[in-house]
Chain A
Amino acid sequence: MTKPENEITWKDLEIGSIVTEPGNASQYQTGDWRSQRPIFDNKKCIKCGICYIFCPEGCIEQNVEGYFEANLFYCKGCGICTRECWTQAITMVEEE
């Protein structure tokens, strides 16, 4: 995107609001929607990856040590990872 979304005028739009830059959805910060964030307790984590599989946003990544963490630019705070985690290693905490 050439401009931040909140500066785009109707005159800036391509015909039919066509998006001509492939993959620019990755610039959309869905993390804005979040009211709770997941906290990962690596002491309880068994590295099974169930949180990674169930995350509907696809925003959980595995770090070099093999533990999982959420990319908070995209994480919407849905809590599905917390619900699915077998060892209760993930808890949701209120965003400030």
Chain B
Amino acid sequence: MAKRVGIEVSLAIAETAKLANVDVVAAYPITPQTHIVEHLAQLVADGELDAAYIPVESEHSAMSACLGASAVGARTFTATAGQGLELMHEVLYIASSMRLPVVMVVVNRALSAPLSVWGDHSDVMAVRDTGWIQIFTENGQEVVDNLLGAFRIAEDQRVLLPVMIHLDGFHLSHMVEPLFLPEQSEVDQFIPPYYYPFPLNPDKPITMGAFAPPIIYSETKKAQEVNLEASKAVILQCWKDFGSFFKRYYSPVESYLSEDARVLLLTMGSFSETAMTAIDKMRKEGRDVGLLKLRLWRPFPFGEIRQAVKNAEVLIVLDRALSFGGPGGPVCSEIRSALYDEEKKPKVISFVGGLGGRDITVAGFEYIVNRGIEISQTGSEQEFEMFGVRE
């Protein structure tokens, strides 16, 4: 039986990677990811984890080393944040298009300049289109559970795609939380051994990521897109199996008191915890509000989003990233396009807030809901509104 422990979420991530028995970790330390890779280095140095820890000189090299390791058939893990994720950027596409199931924890951090080590989703949104499966998590238990699931999803022979697990920098990564760490025997049962169908092998040479002229490139991208879309069925099955096994259940769009709500708020990541408290308070006051939490970011859950909002009149989306000179909130923009062709759909109101580690309190979420309703009633919609900025 799994034991309940009080542990810093970053350390729990390292312990989970150990439980998943990773073979290779290639990582470069960066705030607020540092505790994860420090602890993994310690576990390897102490002989508690039989893995190669590669202390590379940059994140570009970290991801590149991960590709090589994954291609020989090693279970490969890394973690990064903010600028580090950006430095990996070009290599991220290579992981997904070469179908290498690297698992990476991204401790979400704002992007410079000005320099900010604190959390928001600018880094997530900048790697939106890299072809990785991407999952948001809300608390320590969700990180542990989804990280275990990530290895199983990524390495499934029908998927073979890299997976990013997102958690908010500091707000989540540095919290000490009570959570269940599974037993080694449970993890061994849940995650089958990794088998890569075309491992690099001098006796059976292959070429990966070779030159593709215009006559074949489009076909490679179509195959990649079909593959990523098809991974959704495996993700859903994995979460179902995880639920049967560990009695904790996950879905692409999670709902909280949302079934009959006229007004819905949609959030992602750890801010959903505070949003739930705000919804509780407003419900007690007789307000007709509910919460949706986006878990699966890629592949985007179009059907689930449409289903979840179909009875609502107003949908208020809070993004923690800003698409400059564009639609404002990247998640809200996708939700708007997902609903565009629907005959019955809520008014969609976009807020951008919580940038660079700025907290949003219960009162803040109440304001966002009330202001969202006001905008929808007065027809004063703009592309988006920034929350909490001093004028």
Contact = CB atoms under 8 A, between A and B. Distances in A.
B198 A15 contact: yes
B195 to A, nearest CB: 13
Interface residues of A, number: 17
Interface in B203-258: 205-213, 215-216, 219-220, 222-223, 226
Contacts of A5: 213, 215-216
Contacts of A6: 215
Interface in B84-103: 97-100
Contacts of B213: 5
Nearest to A6: B215
Interface residues of B, number: 23
A6 to B, nearest CB: 6
Contacts of A20: 198, 206
A64 interface: no
B309 interface: no
Nearest to A17: B220
B197 interface: yes
Interface string A1-35: 00001101111111111111010010000000000
B205 A22 contact: yes
A17 B209 CA distance: 7
A14 B198 contact: yes
Nearest to B227: A15
A82 B238 CA distance: 63
B160 interface: yes
B228 to A, nearest CB: 12
Contact of A22 (B97, B207, B215): B207
Given A6-B215, A10-B226, A18 B198 contact: yes
B212 A17 contact: yes
A24 to B, nearest CB: 9
A10 B220 contact: yes
Interface of A: 5-6, 8-20, 22, 25
- Across chains A and B, which 5 residue pairs bring their CB atoms closest together, nearest first? A16-B99, A19-B207, A10-B222, A10-B219, A16-B98
